[in-house]
Amino acid sequence: MKRRGIHRFRRSPDGSAGFGVVEVVIAIALLGALSLALTGMFQSIVALQAAARNQKLATLAAQRQIETLRNSSYGNLAAGSTVDFSGNLPSELSSPKSGSVAITEPNSGLKRVDVTVTYKQYGATKKVVVSSTIGIIGITK
C-alpha cells in the first residue's frame, strides 16, 4: 500500500528526489557571482552620474558667467584682464573649485571671453572651458 500525503515529490527514474548538495552549492555560487557583477556595475553607474552632474554644473556656471558679462557694459570688459568668479559657483559642484574669465581683444570692437571652471573629482582635476565673443553692439557668435 502506498502512503499518500507524506512524500508528494516525484522521483526521477534513478530513484533520487529533489536537488542534491552539489546543485545547491553551484546555484548559490552563480547567484553570488551575479550579485557581485551587479554591485560593480551599480558603483560604476553612480560614479558616471556624479561625473556628468559635475560637468553639467560647471558648464552651466560658465555659461551663466558669459551671460553676466554680455549684460554688462562693453566698456567694462578690459582686454587683458582676468575676472575671478569662484564665489558664484554652485555649492553642489565638487570642491575645491574655482572659476575665472580671461578677456582678450582679437579685433577692434570685439572681445573674446574664455571662461574656465576647475574642480576636483575622485582626486583628479577636471576643467571646463567655454568661450564666446562679445561685440560692441552685442553677441557676434
In sequence order, the 6+-apart residues with CB closer than 8 A to the CB of 50 are 121
How far apart are the C-alpha atoms of 47 and 40, rounded to whole Å? 11
Whether the pLDDT of residue 1 is over 60: the answer is no
The mean-pLDDT minimum among 8-17, 32-41, 131-140 falls in 8-17
In sequence order, the 6+-apart residues with CB closer than 8 A to the CB of 114 are 101, 102, 104, 129, 130, 131
Percent of the chain clearing pLDDT 90 (strictly above): 60
Kindly report the backbone phi and psi dihedral angles of residue 21, in degrees, each rounded to the nearest multiple of 5, phi listed first. Answer: -60, -40
For residue 93, count CB atoms less than 10 angstroms from its CB and return exposed for 0-12, middle for 13-18, buried for 19 or more: buried
Whether the pLDDT of residue 110 is over 80: the answer is yes
Contact 47, 122 (CB under 8 A): yes
pLDDT for residue 9: 53
pLDDT for residue 15: 63
Whether the pLDDT of residue 3 is over 60: the answer is no
Q: Are strands 82-84 and 97-107 parallel, antiparallel or unpaired?
A: antiparallel
pLDDT for residue 75: 82
Most confident of the following: 15-24, 40-49, 131-140: 40-49
The predicted-structure confidence for 46-103, as pLDDT tens digits, reads as follows 999 999 999 999 999 999 999 999 888 888 888 999 999 999 999 999 899 999 999 9
